[in-house]
Structure 1
Amino acid sequence: MTDIVTAAMIVIGDEILSGRTKDKNIGHLAEMMTAVGIDLKQVRVVPDEEDEIVAAVNALRARYTYVFTTGGIGPTHDDITADSVSKAFGVPCEYEPRAYAMLEANYASRGLEFSEARKRMARMPRGADLILNPVSVAPGFRIGNVHVMAGVPSIFQAMLDNVVPSLRTGARLLSTTIPCPYGEGTIGGPLAEIQKAHPDTIIGSYPKYLDGKFWTELVVRSRSQEAMERASSAIEAMLSEIAKAA
């Protein structure tokens, strides 16, 4: 079986933590990773503070195959992601020649000053590769296994489209859903035994409430079709036994 490939995400920005901005990037990344067989294992939201960003980057890049960051690569004083990632890798943060030239040409074509603030968007860790931005030109960057991208959803999504083809992917996680007419209190015990008997699956239990009644949506996930079907059959048998005893 293909090796399991993992990822983590760092969402950077005081505006996310304050609630002024509602994140739209986590769900999109999760969907994209699932589609290509990469397990998104963790998401952290951190403030615009260098020490917090450095700690998160170093912790997650050591643990997961890929790390994706969003936010903090704009032109203002609080956009400190490039500096923080540079510090995490122990390299200088400096103007990247290609990024600088792209931005300079873009602002010239629009008759706008290439100000010191705008030049900040060409700064990145020494040795980083560009992640192209087809929406607003200002690029993201990749260093090691860390991919640094914009927080604006349309730009993040466009950058991610450019990144995904370069990633090592794994076996896709298959899933099937089994509706269960009983609440978790009824099925909790036997469901735990089924999970224990089928360690090559992940069984999720999601309580629902409709028309005054609790019911449960059961989701079985596995990288093996056969394993998923075996666990599903065990769940179906368990539900039949409960129905007989009712």
Structure 2
Amino acid sequence: MLITSLLMSINQLLPVVILAVLLSLIVPLSQRQLSIYAVIGTLMSLVFVQAAAWVSQLFDHRGLEFIQMLLCIMIFVAALMSCQQRKMAAALALIATMTLYLSHYMIYLVSFWHSKDTAEPLILGTCLGVGICISFGVLLFFLLESIVRRAGVQPLVVLLAFNATAKLLIFLDLASQVDLLDVTSNYLDWRGFLVENSELGRVLKALVGYEATPSKTALWVYVIAAVVFIALARVLKIKKTEEPVCGS
């Protein structure tokens, strides 16, 4: 249970932390703003969990999948708009990401919280996972901040494009589950190069949506969407961030 809680914490929290770091440097966002968005995102996740039973009954019992698909699209579009340093777009992207990921995380926590045998390792694993994600976020922030000072904000926009496009892969999986899309059965196998469940694999999955066995459909969608994101970001004439803001 300890290892499971640790891995669950990392899998669900790391994508949120990474997006928060990227947006805080591109937009930029202060610590106070990030804290406010984090509180709102947590509350939205709680609302989503509470309404899950009702939402799941909608659209022929496909309501949850449709809502999650909508969140994926919102994240992609909001991340693109945040390249114009629009704080409301950045807030929407971050809150939608928290709702998408933390809702699963909260369901997991609630499911095992009341058991005496699992409560202690659950708390310990969660605390370790949160600590690892925060530490990774701090290191990533300073790394990307140095990149911005040397090369400008464009490398971060490319990274944000990959990160946002990864949400479209989640969209594809959900659409396939509810029979909206027929994803090709032809898969690539990169497990000999990098296993998805390895330490680096988990980081790359949270950072750019790495999959060890992607379908060809997913690969084409990923490449095309990332190129479109970067092209539109250039058309929108992204402002250059002179000094990243990390304080209030």
TM-score normalised by length of structure 2: 0.28
Normalised by the length of structure 1, the TM-score is 0.28
**Bigger proportion of residues as helix:** 2
Larger Rg: 1
More relative contact order in 1 or in 2 (CA 8 Å, sep 6+)?
2
